[in-house]
Chains A and B, each alone.
Chain A
């Protein structure tokens, strides 16, 4: 380009920053990414697979897949069959829009007592098509989805990417269990915020060490574009733990519901069991709730829950 135009752009304040003189990191750094290149029908993409064993962070001892009835009790819906896939993406911005990339997609599932996490990373925007195709192919194996805030964040953004690629229709329409609203309700007053890391700390007693904050992930991917991959591994680690810990949180929330310790959880257990159609569970939970309420009437109960509980008691009474 002409130096004149470049100068004019700079003078008019149109160039965001002065061009950096940082030398590019040698291409060999890219090979330090964990995983391997995977060839798909739409070209290459980077893939990494990890396994998480119960008893090692982020999965507490005794973590196991919930049965369909247990899931129904936790998520307050009728039981259904089939396996759920945990879903979590990393994006280049917290906003949404055509220019926000989902550069890393992590999927996780139970396999023979361990949690398998597979991650697809597009090392450049040119690999998006291959990444989307691989993720879609893997999703076909499942019948449900598990996420933390996925309904409002991950899925709409992922669907935007598919729509951009003309694959808008290909996302399977899954029943989707989102842990975030559940955790927010059950852990009211016990966490300083409703982020996944806080939930993990409260429920799993697990604190992430050297975790890269999610807000720093976009920057690392931008750096990767310029050949600087040194912290991309940390981004992948962050995402893998996000995915695996969904199963830990799911299990712990269920345990919490089974052994309510606060008035709120006891009330929730009653309401949830009733909505799942499990009358026996509901009656048992109601009894526990009565005991706890008798001992601790001052515990925090989210607004609306007390009323839901009152109506659940009436229905139980009528059923007996």
Chain B
């Protein structure tokens, strides 16, 4: 089946001409090792019964680390048997304890007495994943599940029963767990499978009731570690700080084990997350079927503007082939609205092929849970043939195996690419991933540097900032609720522990200090008010009128540009116009309409610099980062026609501004740069905005900070800098570490930007490089190229790290050239 598609790809001239890169991963035989000596015989028997005679090399490696008490992160591809990496050693230790043998060391290297029956906590990002995982543990044990969630016995051999041992209980603990089961699993659960939110809001604040579980806690498993970035990652790191405190209070030092998709910095990332030295296991010994990665670049349809055909349209054409061939496929879109557009296009395409449009569905976050469950089930039973999805489907929710994945636009990170691509070809046999690049600079960067995806140390680094003041302070409150702080006690490596405790222990504050100890002193329950993904507790609900049906929710910061009156809200490929917005009531009313346009909105941001944390003068440039206060106001809405993208109407938006305290990275230009770059009048705005847009768009090539976006401003003058400046703004309150990271890696940022703008075929600036604002044009493109290369040269010269990068030239006919450039990119 896949072969038929690949053949068509080669033979169809219009498809073949679009191929920018074809990467074939040959089938891999894999590497195996014999069962380790300490693998419990019950598990060995269970594996053998399923025809497994040995372990993959990475499973054996992880097995040794875990039993030696070493914190470990496993970063191997999807479907490489990651869960066995921790399930086998943990179950071996538990089974040995049942027999009165001590096996395995804890996180501090102690060999615990055999009388202690160890417990384990598995943390999965979602409830669905936790449910899947319980099934996986039971499969490892070849155990039957009881209706109440426990495990009755181990396999047909009834090995444990023969040995007279109690069974091992693996339980999911989530919002659906009934109260009487909760009590039982607190008292007798060996493995508790839960999600970060339950740990945060239910388990840790009630740890006295879990005292026996925590006293014996030996293993903490964290899945999908790569997704723990940005606010979610910072929150997770702080939840783990709390967990470590509570475990220590009850006398245990667990071993932390993480599972991650392939990311550039799995070891440092997991180390940061758990604040411990960790071992990395990243050499997969699993065999894999042949995999094809086809990177398609849509043709340039307007040469001067460098405009390419839209990724969504191109992806639709690719999907038509899959529909015709009857190959089940997932097509990933980058945003909710794009997925809605894709869903509509693909339903149309199915209808034109005489297929039932109901076999094509959309899947994204913001859908209410029961609709999502129905879609997941349809994918599993085959009644759904094609899904247009956001990355909500990227995490390992069980949807069976598919042959093909299409990405309408690069998903933004190597880890996401690999996860999405991994949705195809879980079973052995050929599979294909088709990436349709968009005109965005990052997409074009990836196409020019496929080693970014397929190289040895591919991809951007995942960054988290566990010390984000907002996140850490909120969790410090939760921690104080859970256990008073002793004198000089630290909260992980949060540097402001003392200072923040002190600031909160004032009259009217929630804490109280006495004789060096700090106590929670408030009726409120802090965990209730702290959301793990930041801000999402402040949601607006969209209600269809007059039916009153809830369509979905929107985070507050996005409301001013997506739920203003007249906005088109898209849901399942249908359009709803917002008729009324109740700001106080956090509610928008929408009516179903049939229109041929959607809406986009413009906003204006003002920035006040509060402090300069770093300042690096480099020739005619100054790089720096620090705290800023921003005020953002939505100004205009625009109606855009489907398929043509034509702006058919605009109107004003009148909504309150969003105020935000955050951090920013900036690059200020000495005033004489205005002359040097000939930045006068409109060219100045076009250049600065273009450079800002370019820099922002390549940020994800360097670092991943989760769902939050980066906002970019290019200003001709600013009262703080008294000169032109380009600002890249973190959009998380308090800053999530982006500004510091960009400051530390500003040369790499400039190198990526330079590569993109230099290779862009356009002449006047385009969405693939400097964007297409009012003031863009050949002058702006020339100036951005010069600006970026001069900035890079200045930065490199001052840091003494290499020769000047090179010089942009522009000849009399407006053609842009480039001379002598040093090493580019960091990867």
Q: Which residues of A contact B (CB under 8 A)?
A: 1-2, 4-6, 8-9, 11-12, 14-20, 22, 92-93, 95-99, 124-126, 159-161, 163-164, 168, 218-219, 222, 225-226
Contacts and interface: CB of A to CB of B under 8 A. Distances in A.
Nearest to A19: B506
A22 B507 contact: yes
A168 B506 contact: no
24 contacts: A1-B502, A2-B499, A11-B610, A15-B506, A16-B522, A17-B509, A18-B508, A22-B507, A92-B521, A92-B522, A96-B206, A98-B207, A99-B481, A99-B526, A124-B514, A125-B514, A126-B517, A159-B208, A163-B208, A164-B208, A218-B523, A222-B521, A222-B522, A226-B507
B521 A6 contact: no
Given A16-B508, A124-B514, A160 B499 contact: no
A216 to B, nearest CB: 11
A124 B509 CA distance: 17
A12 B733 contact: yes
A111 to B, nearest CB: 33
Given A12-B469, A14-B474, A92-B523, A20 B503 contact: no
Given A15-B503, A222-B522, A98 B205 contact: yes
Interface of B, secondary structure class, is mixed
Contacts of A222: 512, 521-522
A124 B502 CA distance: 18
B149 interface: no
Given A5-B496, A17-B509, A19-B508, A98 B503 contact: no
B521 A126 contact: no
B611 interface: yes
B509 A98 contact: no
B508 A125 contact: no
Nearest to A14: B473
B811 interface: no
Nearest to A97: B205
A93 B523 contact: yes
Contacts of A226: 507, 512
B671 interface: no
A19 B507 contact: yes
Contacts of A218: 523
Given A1-B499, A98-B205, 5 more contacts: A20-B507, A99-B205, A99-B480, A159-B208, A168-B211
B661 A12 contact: yes
B329 to A, nearest CB: 45
A221 to B, nearest CB: 9
B212 to A, nearest CB: 8
Contacts of B526: 99
A117 to B, nearest CB: 26
B135 interface: no
Nearest to A96: B206
Interface in B459-514: 469-470, 473-474, 480-484, 496, 498-500, 502-504, 506-510, 512, 514
B520 interface: yes
Interface in B181-212: 205-209, 211
B515 interface: yes
Given A99-B480, A124-B514, A11 B661 contact: yes
Interface in B389-424: none
Nearest to A11: B661
B521 A98 contact: no
B211 A163 contact: yes
A15 B661 contact: no
Nearest to B504: A15
A14 to B, nearest CB: 5
B525 interface: yes
Nearest to B202: A97
Given A14-B469, A160-B209, A93 B499 contact: no
B63 interface: no
Contacts of A18: 508
B81 interface: no
A99 B661 contact: no
A93 to B, nearest CB: 5
Nearest to B250: A166
Interface string B658-684: 000100000000000000000000000
A161 B502 CA distance: 25
Nearest to B525: A95
Across the A-B interface, give the 3 residue pairs with the lowest CB-CB distance, nearest first.
Answer: A99-B481, A163-B208, A1-B499
Contacts of B525: 93, 95, 97, 99
A1 B503 contact: yes
A19 B514 contact: no
Contact of A168 (B208, B469, B661): B208
Interface in B713-766: 733-734
Contacts of A159: 208
A20 B508 contact: yes
A16 B510 contact: yes
B23 to A, nearest CB: 45
A98 to B, nearest CB: 5
Contact of A160 (B208, B512, B514, B517): B208
B519 interface: yes
Contacts of A2: 499
Nearest to B527: A97
A15 B509 contact: yes
B106 interface: no
A8 B469 contact: yes
A260 B510 CA distance: 51
A9 B206 contact: no
A222 B498 CA distance: 22
Nearest to A98: B482
A211 to B, nearest CB: 20
B223 to A, nearest CB: 26
B533 interface: no
Contacts of A6: 499, 503
A97 B514 contact: no
Contacts of B340: none
Contacts of A125: 484, 512, 514, 517, 519
A105 B696 CA distance: 60
Contacts of B474: 14
A170 to B, nearest CB: 13
- For B502, B507, B629, which residue has the most chain A Cβ atoms within 10 angstroms? B507
Contact of B481 (A1, A5, A20, A98): A98
A219 B734 CA distance: 32
A4 B484 contact: no
A293 B509 CA distance: 59
A9 B473 contact: yes
Interface in B424-440: none
A101 to B, nearest CB: 8
